[in-house]
């Protein structure tokens, strides 16, 4: 039975908070290891479980199943099974699903910890992955330049035989194309099994990283173009906002590279025909990390450029004010001389004295301005072509 999930089509416009230092839940302090305590923001929706069982010739899909129905599905291991739990804030549900899948208590604790660092763990009968799923949300007219908001959520993936379980922080994801490929028998997912499905999900997450860094590069280039037109105070605020976002992305994505390296060392996670794709996935992650490092360098250059252009603008203003003061300084001196209240000043009785002084002051001002022009202090002289 094929059903559509209404939550996946719902627009999500809340932007990520890019918290560099997460706060520790006080409830975890002193708690025994393996105690599942939710850490992170608590979204307002009822968690639900979906499942897809498939083989090369058949696909079955279930929506909003309970733990008893999930237990019935996991008893049959003849075909690949993808179990998707959306909403890890319900600790009771996660605990029941963990018991159904026979997961270690430490795994249950990590699943509900949305601030967990990306990691890979190998258990006796299953493999555990935890990382951030970051992708671009729908277009938001309130954002400048037509940018799309960044959406981030914690996702855990557990590969256990023919069963692949995914735990997501909130509804909606970038796995829609993977589901469509399973339904329409596109690609090799239905013929390769759960390990290839795991690779496809990881590849979709990394593709989301690539889209994010591409938009980030466009935003930096746009800000650089605006900065050339003249620095403004708002530019500095945008630069520091971008810097904080890049730091958050580096903190979130850089550990994924180490995660994939550990997976490649652990030869038993993927079959040989899927393992070759993992190297390509590592190359994509390296491309993302290199782009983030370059973006951080560009941000440092933009900060220096903003300060340099601001200082240059201030110097130009001070230069203009200095020139104006220099022009009026001798004029004030002349006006001060003839403003003294002495009775026996020789020029006071001169019939054309006023006009003579005004003409002299004008000549002095004109001479000073001419000197500035001659020195090139008002504007630069055009470069003359050199004679060979």
pTM: 0.79
Report residue 104 as tokens: 């270690």
Q: What DSSP string describes 204-221?
A: HHHHHHHHHHHHHHHHHH
Q: What is the pLDDT of residues 246-289, one digit of tens each?
A: 999 999 999 999 999 888 888 788 888 888 888 899 999 999 99
Q: Where are the domains of the chain?
A: 26-307, 338-388
Task: Select from 3.30.1300.10, 2.40.50.140, 3.30.460.20, 2.60.120.260 the CATH code of 26-307.
Answer: 3.30.460.20
269 vs 159: CA distance, rounded Å: 8
**Predicted local confidence at residue 4, as pLDDT:** 43
111 φ/ψ angles, rounded to the nearest 5 degrees: -65, -40
125 vs 107: CA distance, rounded Å: 13
Contacts of 19 (CB under 8 A, 6+ apart): 248
Radius of gyration of the chain (CA): 34
Q: Tens-of-pLDDT digits for all 388 residues of the chain?
A: 334 443 344 444 344 456 777 777 777 776 788 788 888 888 888 999 999 999 888 899 998 899 888 888 888 777 899 999 999 999 999 999 999 999 999 999 999 999 999 999 999 999 999 999 999 888 777 766 667 888 899 999 999 989 999 999 988 888 989 999 999 988 888 888 899 999 999 999 999 999 999 999 999 999 999 888 888 888 999 999 999 999 999 999 999 999 998 888 887 888 888 888 888 999 999 999 999 999 999 999 999 999 898 888 888 888 888 888 888 888 888 888 877 777 777 777 777 778 888 888 889 888 888 888 887 777 665 665 555 5
Q: What is the pLDDT of residues 303-322, one digit of tens each?
A: 999 989 888 888 888 888 88
């Amino acid at each position: 039975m094929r059903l559509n999930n209404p939550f996946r089509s719902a627009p999500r416009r809340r932007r990520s908070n890019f918290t560099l230092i997460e706060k520790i839940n006080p409830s975890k302090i002193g708690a025994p290891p393996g105690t599942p305590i939710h850490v992170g923001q608590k979204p307002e929706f009822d968690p639900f479980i979906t499942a897809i069982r498939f083989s090369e010739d058949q696909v079955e899909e279930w929506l909003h199943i309970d733990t008893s129905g999930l237990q019935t599905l996991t008893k049959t291991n003849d075909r690949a099974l993808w179990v998707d739990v959306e909403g890890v804030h319900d600790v009771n549900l996660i605990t029941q699903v963990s018991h159904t899948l026979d997961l270690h208590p430490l795994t249950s604790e990590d699943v509900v910890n949305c601030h967990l660092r990306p990691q890979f763990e190998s258990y006796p009968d299953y493999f555990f992955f935890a990382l951030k799923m970051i992708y671009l949300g729908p277009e938001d007219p309130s954002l400048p330049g037509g940018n799309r908001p960044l959406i981030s959520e914690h996702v855990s993936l557990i590969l256990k035989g023919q069963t692949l379980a995914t735990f997501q922080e909130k509804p909606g994801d970038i796995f829609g194309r993977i589901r469509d490929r399973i339904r329409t028998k596109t690609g090799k997912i239905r013929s390769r099994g759960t390990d290839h499905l795991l690779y496809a999900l990881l590849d979709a997450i990394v593709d989301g990283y690539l889209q994010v860094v591409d938009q980030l590069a466009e935003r930096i280039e746009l800000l650089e173009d605006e900065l050339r037109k003249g620095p403004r105070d708002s530019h500095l605020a945008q630069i520091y906002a971008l810097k904080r976002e890049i730091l958050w992305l580096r903190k979130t994505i850089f550990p994924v590279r180490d995660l994939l390296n550990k997976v490649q060392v652990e030869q038993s996670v993927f079959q040989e025909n899927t393992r070759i794709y993992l190297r390509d996935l590592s190359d994509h992650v390296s491309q993302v990390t290199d782009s983030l490092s370059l973006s951080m360098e560009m941000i440092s250059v933009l900060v220096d450029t903003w300060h340099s252009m601001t200082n240059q603008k201030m110097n130009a203003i001070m230069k203009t004010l200095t020139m104006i003061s220099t022009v009026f300084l001798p004029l004030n001196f002349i006006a001060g001389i003839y403003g003294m209240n002495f009775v026996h000043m020789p020029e006071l009785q001169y019939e054309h004295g006023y006009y003579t002084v005004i003409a002299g002051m004008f000549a002095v001002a004109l001479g000073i301005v001419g000197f500035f022009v001659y020195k090139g202090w008002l504007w630069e002289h055009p470069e003359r072509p050199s004679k060979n």
